[in-house]
Amino acid sequence: MKRVVSIALCVMLAMSMLIPVSAATAKAPAKQKPVTLTAVMNTDYYKSGIIEVMKKLTKDTGITLKIEKIPSGEQCNLIVATKFATGNVPDVLFYYSDGAQFKPLGLENFVEQSGQPWMKNYDMNAWKAGMSLNGAFYAAPYWGQNVSGMLYNKKVFKNLGLKVPQSYTELVAACKKIRAAKIDPIFLSGKDGWTNMIYSWCTATQGLDFAVVNKINTNKSKYVDLKNLVGGLSQQLELMKKGYCNKNVLSATYDQAQKALATGTAAMYCMGTWVMTDIATKYPKEANDIGFFPVPYIGGGKDVVGSFTPNAIYVVRGPKQADAQRFVNYFESVPVQNTYFSVEGGIPTIKGVTKTKLTPAELEAKSYVDKGRASLVFSIGFKYGWGDYGALCQDVLAGTKTPLQAIQAADAEFQKNAKAAVPTDPNFK
Amino acid sequence: MGISFHGYPHSYIKDDIMKTENLLMRKTYSYKYLMPGLIIFVFLVILPAVGSFYYSVFNYNGLKVGEFVGLNNFKEIFTNSNVNICFKNTFIFSAVTLFLKVVLGLAFALLANTQIRTKGLFKSILFFPVILSSVAVGVSFTAILHPETGIVNIILRTVGLGALAHEWLTDPGIVMYSIAAVDVWKNVGFHMALFLAGLQIIPHDLYESAFIDGAGSVKKFIHITVPLLLPVINTNILFSIIGGMKVFDSVYVLTGGGPGNASQVINTIVLSNFAQMRYGEATAANVILFVMVMITILVLNKFLGMVEKEV
């Protein structure tokens, strides 16, 4: 009997020693194997948000992200296209969300995102037009939603007793008064070609029916048929010719525009709200004096703001695509998005993000979106590129092309890109 | 002595065979050294060049080769809205840089060939820009030629010549001339070096004889220097023309083809096509440039050769 009891006690003792081990084993998550992922990113995208996220990335996931920063603009397109053509692809690609840009890289190179955990917090219907291709989502949002319109220096307006113009006539009148006070009414950063596109994109967005986009995509219509596009480019030229812009427009840069707007040497700057991240960093006090209103084209309070889709992260097919997908799911999770947007401006597209760093201008822009006075900006949804539209806008400002000639040249580039598509587009034979 | 062959002793035949083998080995010896470089040249230059003719007649987006389009890519180049500007700009750039590089290069070489004390320093200063990076030169001159803050316009305004201050890189009317001036500044030292080498092999006794005969500097230059320097002048002209027609880095760094498309040249159009993944069309533009350069070289070579012979 004593022997039986002592054996039973020993067995119980041994079993009791095992319990904490199994419990510990059950509770402790399996340690993620460290992995290094390569990423390619436009240098303009490498800002405070991603830097902050990367501080805890490795600790939380075991992933180290090695980012290769590449120049922006045409060079970015060229480098990315060359990498995919030569098979030297990264594991993660930070790129445009515009289908016309990433579709030529080959959809078979990317992992479709439907069904991924992060999409539960994503309004697919709202972003379908701008972020999906053929109904499939390849792009996860990077950076925030941005809105285009007219940023203005509130102090200048207040000092001159000006109200936010509601029509083009009122805008011209305001410009006249501002010029009389020896301040540049509207800053045009002509040297950086892409910045010249925004004004006509804003006007072209007014009353834009996306059926027109489909017609252009199937060669049933052309850009010259969009009166508000040609009209916007003509207005921009008119404002410059009337002397309501800065001197040496074609030498002025995007950086100079930020300084001019922040310091009040220029009253207005037509741009997307993404510029506020830079202005808030460089001129933190002055950033609070900047406001926002839609470019007054139609007038009567009917003008809408142009809403840009965020940029994108793509999971590239390859041996590390599972880890790359893990990174994307981590990045798009609400806690990480809170980390990102707490240091970086922009309106989050992931639902449930509460920590944002929106400047007054961005909040004013967001209010137009919330009121329903927003539409996807004109440039979204086209199947093919239309060449360097920024350079064509520069041609108009330089006087070497009329607005109509510039849009006709854009049409010609669109046709060329459509005809050069592989496989051939039957609508453009 | 061994069996004879046609009356010749066997040892003589063996000698002949050995001599022939040695001769063959000597003749092929240098080719063996050439082979590695030749193989690399064929694979990295010749084959891609030949391949470009193939891709220029297809729809090719850099990832997949599409359908055969014949001369359509060439037609698209010639119907591009910027084609007139790019050919005109390439011609202006080639002509301006040719004239300035040859004239200034020769002038500096003549100066450097005199007995001035600082000729070593003079040659170094003039040659220094040649070894600088094109990107560094471009970025520097973008600042130097800025219409408001650039040192050129500041100096002009300070000395009362404000009327001469221009928007050097943003005025469509003068932008190509500005770019050409920067290119001449950067590369004139190279042409000076070529001319200097040519000047230094002209025998001095010819000048002495001419001096004794009463010839002045101008006559010596016209009747001795120029004729004996003709091969070098021709080389400089060819280098300059080829460099002018193929220009890219100066334009790209200084203006990117802008303002707008005002300073587009053939190679910036090629880049623009590559960036839009129209690789077939970009390759066709390269083929056009290749043909233009070949024709120019052949015609110039013939003409300059005739001039050389006459002189």
CATH number where A325 lies: 3.40.190.10
**Residue A21's pLDDT is what?**
42
What is the chain A residue with the closest CA to B281?
A420
Spatial CB neighbours of B13, under 8 Å, sequence gap ≥ 6: B5
Contacts of B70 in chain A (CB under 8 A): none
Of the candidates A81, A82, A401, which has its C-beta nearest B260's C-beta?
A401
State whether A151 and A232 are in the same domain: yes
Q: How much of chain B is in helix, strand and coil states, percent to nearest 5? A: 75, 5, 25
State whether A56 and A199 are in the same domain: no
Neighbours of A265 (CB within 10 A): 16
Contacts of A419 in chain B (CB under 8 A): 59, 72, 76
State whether A302 and A192 are in the same domain: yes
Distance CA B259, CA A407 (A): 17
Contacts of B81 in chain A (CB under 8 A): 405, 408-409, 412
Pick from A335, A352, A369: which residue ends a domain? Answer: A352
Highest mean pLDDT among B23-27, B73-77, B114-118, B306-310: B73-77
Q: What is the DSSP string of A284-344?
A: TTGGGGEEEE---SS-TT---EEEEPPEEEEEBPSTTHHHHHHHHHHHTSHHHHHHHHHHS
B177-189, pLDDT tens digit by residue? Answer: 999 999 999 999 9
Cβ <8 Å between B63 and A421: no
Neighbours of A148 (CB within 10 A): 28
**Residue A118's pLDDT is what?**
94
Of the candidates A85, A247, A391, which has its C-beta nearest B257's C-beta?
A391
Given a cut of 60, whether residue B146 has pLDDT beyond it is: yes
Give the count of domains, chain A. 2
Name the residue type at position B275. Answer: A
State whether A176 and A55 are in the same domain: no
Distances (CA, A) of A218 to A98, A386, A414, A415: 17, 14, 11, 10
Contacts of A77 in chain B (CB under 8 A): 275-277
Cβ <8 Å between A78 and B271: yes
Distance CA B233, CA B199 (A): 11
Name the residue type at position B229. Answer: L
Residue A10, domain member (yes or no): no
The burial class, CB within 10 Å (0-12 / 13-18 / 19+), for A116 is middle
Mean pLDDT of B90-98: 95
State whether A244 and A382 are in the same domain: yes
Of the candidates B62, B146, B167, which has its C-beta nearest A81's C-beta?
B62
Mean pLDDT of B103-121: 89
Distances (CA, A) of A249 to A190, A257, A381, A394, B259: 5, 10, 30, 9, 10
Distance CA A396, CA B276 (A): 22
Contacts of B147 in chain A (CB under 8 A): 248, 251
Contacts of A395 in chain B (CB under 8 A): 259-262
What is the chain A residue with the closest CA to B62?
A85
State whether A262 and A291 are in the same domain: yes
**Residue A181's pLDDT is what?**
97
Cβ <8 Å between A420 and B271: no
If pLDDT is split at 50, 70 and 90, which confidence band does B277 have? Answer: confident
Q: pTM, whole model, 2 decimals?
A: 0.80
State whether A47 and A124 are in the same domain: yes
Look up the domain containing A292 and give its range.
146-307+378-428
Cβ <8 Å between A422 and B66: yes
**Residue A27's pLDDT is what?**
40
Question: What is the CATH superfamily name and number for domain B73-310?
Answer: MetI-like (1.10.3720.10)
Residue B277, classed as helix, strand or coil, is: coil
Helices and strands in chain A, H and E counts: 17, 13
The domain spans of chain B are 1-48, 73-310
Q: Given its phi and psi angles, is residue A106 left (phi above 0), alpha (psi -120 to 50 degrees) or beta?
A: left
Of the candidates A396, A400, A420, which has its C-beta nearest B278's C-beta?
A420
Cβ <8 Å between B261 and A395: yes
Distance from CA of B276 to the nearest CA of A (A): 7
Contacts of B278 in chain A (CB under 8 A): 416-417, 420
| ipTM for this model | 0.78
Distance from CA of B185 to the nearest CA of A (A): 23
Contacts of A391 in chain B (CB under 8 A): 257-258, 260-261
State whether A165 and A223 are in the same domain: yes
Distance CA B178, CA A244 (A): 29
Contacts of B82 in chain A (CB under 8 A): 409
**Residue A6's pLDDT is what?**
65
Longest CA pairwise span in chain A (Å): 111
Of the candidates B63, B256, B262, which has its C-beta nearest A84's C-beta?
B63
Distances (CA, A) of B10 to A131, B1, B5, B14: 89, 7, 7, 6
Pairing of strands A311-315, A92-95: antiparallel
Q: What is the pLDDT along chain A (429 residues), one digit of tens a residue?
A: 667 666 666 666 555 554 444 443 334 344 578 999 999 999 989 988 999 999 999 999 999 999 999 998 778 888 998 899 889 999 999 999 877 778 788 889 999 998 999 999 888 877 777 787 778 899 999 988 899 999 999 999 999 999 999 999 999 999 999 999 999 999 999 999 899 999 999 999 998 877 888 899 999 999 999 999 999 999 999 999 999 999 989 999 999 999 999 999 999 999 999 999 899 989 999 999 999 999 999 998 899 999 988 999 999 999 999 999 999 999 999 999 999 999 887 889 898 998 888 999 999 999 998 888 888 888 877 888 888 899 999 999 999 999 999 999 999 999 998 988 877 888 987
Distance from CA of B260 to the nearest CA of A (A): 4
Q: Given its phi and psi angles, is residue A98 left (phi above 0), alpha (psi -120 to 50 degrees) or beta?
A: beta
**DSSP letter assigned to residue B224:** I
Cβ proximity of A101 and A77 under 8 Å: yes
Using alpha carbons, select from A222, A158, A151 the residue that is nearest to residue A187: A151
B3-46, pLDDT tens digit by residue? Answer: 455 555 556 666 766 666 666 666 666 777 888 999 999 999 89
Contacts of B258 in chain A (CB under 8 A): 191, 193, 250, 391, 394
Cβ proximity of A168 and A234 under 8 Å: no
Mean pLDDT of chain B: 88
Distances (CA, A) of A169 to A153, A176, A212: 20, 11, 28
Cβ <8 Å between B59 and A421: yes
Q: What residues in chain A have their Cβ under 8 A from chain B's Cβ atoms?
A: 74-75, 77-78, 81-82, 84-85, 104-106, 190-191, 193, 247-248, 250-251, 385, 387-388, 391-401, 405, 408-409, 412-413, 416-417, 419-424
The burial class, CB within 10 Å (0-12 / 13-18 / 19+), for B181 is middle
